[in-house]
Each structure stands twice: as structure tokens, then as C-alpha cells.
Amino acid sequence: MHHPFKPFKIYSLAILYVVFLVGAFSILMASIDQSQRDWKRYTYEALEKTAYFNDAMVALGYGGFIHDFKNAVIRQDLSYLRRAETEIELGLDSLQKYQQRAPEHTAEVRAIQSVVSQYRHNLPKLRQMLEEKQSVADIDRVVRVDDTPAIEAIEAILSSHAQSPNSLFEQAGSAHQRVNHMLLVILCALVLVSILVFSFIRYVNKRLAIKLKDLEVIFRCAPNAIFSVNEHGTIISANRETMRLFGFSERALNKINVDDLVPSATKEKHKKLRLEFQKSDRVQPMSQRNTIFYGKKLNGDVFPASISIATYGVGDEKHSIVVIKDLSDEMQYKSQANTDPLTKVANRRAINRQLAAAISRSNRQQTPLAVCIFDIDHFKAVNDKHGHLVGDDVLQRVAKIFSDAIRKTDFVGRWGGEEFVIILEDTDKEGAKHFADKLRQEVKRRSQGIDFPVAITLSAGVSVYCQDDKQDCLFNHADQALYRAKESGRDCVVVI
């Protein structure tokens, strides 16, 4: 007998399935839309924060305010000071905007602001001393600021930024898993409501295509180099930054092996490390402690970089996503922080650090150590008579002679003004005196030729390290020896 409620039950079941499918698809679309909004919001926020941070670094960095501030001191030029006063305000404004969008870096931003505020506090003093035409050494002593906290804070922020691509992959993986799970549930119901589900599948595929397109745009526009490789190391896809960084086009995809993008000396080691990473699904930086990874462009240029790799399975194959950040600019900032901008030799900060390390090695290895301080005689008269441009030229030429004369184990830097310091490791008293006098004679001879704009002489003070002496004591002895050399008529070397 025909059951009177059977059609009703069938219709009810059909309606329930339709409601289920509609509900499932609604949840799926909501998840896709939310994921898309989250990706866009995260990307826009990251780009905005990066832009403000970059603006702050350009305005305050060693190509901006710091550069002009130090040039104002060294060259005693008020035009650099005026530019520095404008740049510091722009930099602080950008830094404040970055802090508002990156509260997790409040401590680092405050450290940078503290250092910059010290510079701003010294601007009136610098202007007054420049107008009074005080010496570079006096000005530097009054307005000098320790940049170390700001440099450490910048490095911490940059290191944090370098980890952001990993979170992007994790979020993408989580969103992908959610979408796959929902699609599986919907496909199981497809047997009963195939016609209805078919139309929904087309709709969902369209939305997924939009989602994948958004991910592709993010992939291509990412500020770091991102590319994927198969289990053989062949690059199968790459964003624009990867092609720009390594110097190849889309036509080269599937033809370049990632092992060819490292220096030849580390190629085999890199290949072994890559194969180890591919053995399991994981995400981690491909680096070793206290070392820097180096990449190689197709034209042969080598550059420092940080690198992260995520491995995953595609069927029976292992694929990897590689994220590379070029550290060339960061390394350049570090180099500029320890280099005298005029002579391109080490500055006072670098000299102090190198001297401390040399003393430590001397104590540990029981080897001799000597310090030489050279001073250009009557350098103020050179500036007064020939102008500061000629004086700068003389400083640069003297620094070049010093750099060419030292060994690989020696160290040369500009202490300030017309004073240079050379650290001679594994060198005793006689060796240091002979070296200093030979260098003095070489500068005197070269300055009398056509290479130099004016003839000059040098006075030098040499001190030899005694075990367990303090760093200040060693340097003060060399300074005293230099003073005696000047009292003795200049153009000579005195040893303590």
C-alpha cells in the first residue's frame, strides 16, 4: 500500500538537503570572503607599515639626516645642518605613524626616537658651534650621539619583518584546509541533489578563482623574492621580485635550478641542505648560527640574504616554497655605521671595537700588540690657506696610503679631524716604530709629488701593549707619544 506520508518525507528530506547545501555553501562563501578580507587587510597593513618605516629610515638614515648631520660636523657647513633639521622632523613623523600601526614594535621605535631626540637636542648646539667656527674635534665631542640603541632597534624591526612571509604561508594553509573540508562535505551530498549542487559548484569555482587570483597578485607583488621549486630543485614559478633580484625572465622558468643561485663554493653544501629539508614537511630558515646566507645572481654578482623554506607534498613529489630577502641594504647600513664617510676607513666606534678585540686576542695568544696615532702637521693651516676641499682631498689621499700599506691583520681608521689610528697585531716595539716611520716617510715623499695638492708631514705616537693593561691606557700612551713628537718639532715618530 502506498504510504500517505512517503512523498512528504521525500520532499522534507529534499528540502533538508537543499537547506543543508545552501547553508554549507553560505558558510563556505563567508569563509572565502573573510579569508580574502583578512589577506587584503593584512597585506595593506603590512605595506603601509613598511612604507612608513622605509620613509623614516630614508629621512633619518645614513643617506639622510645622519649623513647631513655628520657632514655638517666634518665639513662645518650650515647647509647640511638646514637639510638635517628638515629631515629629522620628516623622519620622526613617519616613525610616529609606523608606531601607531605597529604597536608590537613600540619599544624599538622608542629606542630610535630616543637616539634621534638626542640628535635634535644637539642641533642648536651644533649651529652655534658652527657659527663660532669651532674645530671639528670640539664639535664632535659636544654633539656626538651613541647610535647603537637605534641600530639594534632597526635590526630587530627588520628581523621581525623578515618572518612575516612565514605567517602568510601558515594562514594560507589554514584557509586552504578549511575550504577543502567544506568542499568534501558538499561533494558527498552531490549524489542526492546533483543538479542543484552542480550550479553551486560553478558558483563556488568562480569565487575560488577570484581567491586564487588574489593570492597570485599578493604572490607577485610581495616585497621579497618568493619562488617554488620541485624535488629536483628546478624553479617552476617565481614572483617579479625573484626575477628582478636574480636577473631572469618568465621564459627561464623550468630551466633554472635553485642550486645555481648560490656561490660555486657552497653549491654542493646547499644542495645537501636542500635535500635534507625536503625529507619532511616543515617551515624554517635555511641558515646557520652567526652566519649569513649568500645568493648569486645569474650575472655572477653575490649578495647577502636571509632565506626561509616551506616544504610540502604534491602527490608523490616534494615541492618547496622559498622566500629570500636581500640584505644588501641592511649590510650597507651596518657598514656605514662603522665607516668614516669622508675617507672610507673605519670611524671611532669601529676603532674602539677593533682595539678591544685585538687586546683580547693578545691576552689569549700571548702575542705583541701596538697602536700608532698619526697626525697631519699644521693641518689647520692647510685648510686656512687652501680651503676645506683641499683639506678633504689630503685626508682622503693619506687614508688611501695607509690602507694600501697595512697588512690584512692590521686595522686603520680615522679617529677624528686629521688624526688616524693604526692597530698592529703581532707587532713588537721595534716593528711598530719601523712601520710608523716608514709610513711617515712615504706620505712625506708622496705629498711632494704631483699626486698631492700640497706637501705635508706627519707626526706619530706609538705605544706597545703590556699584558693586562686597559684599553684606555694603551691609547693614552700612544696619544702622549704623539704629543711628544709634536713637541720635538713634528715630522717624527715617538714610542712609549
Catalytic residue ranges = 418
Q: Which residues contact 61 (CB under 8 A, 6 or more apart)?
A: 67, 333
d(CA 215, CA 39): 8
Size of the chain, expressed as the number of residues it contains: 496
d(CA 227, CA 233): 11
For cell 700612551, name the residue. Answer: 477
User: What is the DSSP code string of 33-57?
Assistant: HHHHHHHHHHHHHHHHHHHHHHHHH
Q: What is the largest CA-CA distance in the chain?
A: 131
Pairing verdict, β 317-326 and 302-314:
antiparallel
The CA dihedral of 60, 64, 65, 67, to the nearest 10 degrees, is 120
Question: Contact 293/303 with Cβ under 8 angstroms?
Answer: no
What stretches of 265-408 show up as alpha helix (H) in DSSP? 267-277, 328-337, 348-365, 379-386, 388-405
Pairing verdict, β 369-376 and 419-425:
antiparallel
